[in-house]
Amino acid sequence: MKWRMKIKFSGILVLFIHIISLVWICWGTAACASEIDSYTKTRLIRKDAVAFINHEINRLINASVREANERGLSDAEDLYRILNKNLGGRIISQLEKNLEQHNDEQILKIDIRESIYNGMGFLQAPSLILSRKMGGVFKADDFIIGTDKLGHFIAQGFTYFKTCYLKNYGVEDALLYGINSEMTYYGFTTTGIFSYGDLVANFQGMRFWNDLLGEFPDILNEDHPPYIQRKGDQWVVAFPVDMRRYFDAAWDERINRNVFSDPELEDCIGSRINQAKGSARFPDPEKAKQTLELLNKKYKAYSAYLLNLDNFSRHRIKYMKSLLKTSIQVSRHKKTWSSGTHTALILLGMEDYL
């Protein structure tokens, strides 16, 4: 009888630890983990934001190059460090912050109570409910893109770049790191949402960081001269960044659609999307499908990691778990993952993958 009571108590204790860990994960990310609404009131966005984003990213790059030259830093690693400090941040990039603060008819932010996420419960989206925070959206040509994607582009893009190139782990390891983050602390565990748009922003950010000095061939084989070059004993900005090189329809969650952590949440959000008020015109399902087919050709072998090609299917979750299982089997990933991430995997019902 005693051993049965011990087992029962042990099970309750483990469950309690898991719940506390979930709250800790969500509380720790609540300040930064937000979702965006690409549907509601998007007709109110009056101006394209690309010119402002280009101005800001080039201003920050120029400031970083001046700082490196003033300090006499000639090593590329030192330059990357300064660029990451000025452009980035661990999660929310300076570029994202600047755009959020520049509310000149270019950024739309709405209250969560007006959004497609109104009515979500704590267990479905704990960090979203804790923070009550919605990210903004902006227009880039015909695309509606979340400001959070700029954080992914800079901050997570740099992580991808380090993983793929500086640590020489390869592009698949970088992509699997991104999938892990969406399955856990940036997605399912905290907001109930797996965003393919986030993964595309991460991937394009990796390209951007490589384009800065052009030390490695472009992953999509699109040749471009490096933005920063070494001339004599100085770093020189040779070409300005144009974000249109990186923005495409895959960033737009109306086309490259999210996957949700459970069918009930998927049905609820899908219904709210159909009822969204003041939505900018977006492609019908057939047009979106054609756009995804073109993106599939663009991203080629990487499409499986970046695009929701089967349009919102719940079966995609099972596929993502199989990809994550592969990444967990790579030993070098284990030593970089926190105990909180391991707990999140257990909470996702993925104990066998540890």
pLDDT of residue 250: 97
The yes-or-no verdict on residue 238 having pLDDT over 80 is yes
pLDDT of 17: 36
Euclidean distance between CA atoms 53 and 154, whole angstroms:
12
pLDDT in tens, 164-207: 999 888 888 888 888 887 776 665 666 777 889 999 999 999 99
Q: Give yes or no for residue 56 having a pLDDT over 70.
A: yes
What is the structure's pLDDT at 95? 74
> 219 is written with which tokens?
């992953």
Give dist(CA 325, CA 320) in Å, integer.
9
Task: Using CB atoms within 10 Å of the CB of residue 68, give its burial: 0 to 12 exposed, 13 to 18 middle, 19+ buried.
Answer: buried
Handedness of CA 273, 275, 276, 279 (dihedral sign): positive
CA 131/CA 348 separation, integer angstroms? 22
Domain housing 193 = 2-353
pLDDT recorded at residue 154: 94
* Number of domains the chain is built from: 1
Rounded distance, CA 152 to CA 145, Å? 12
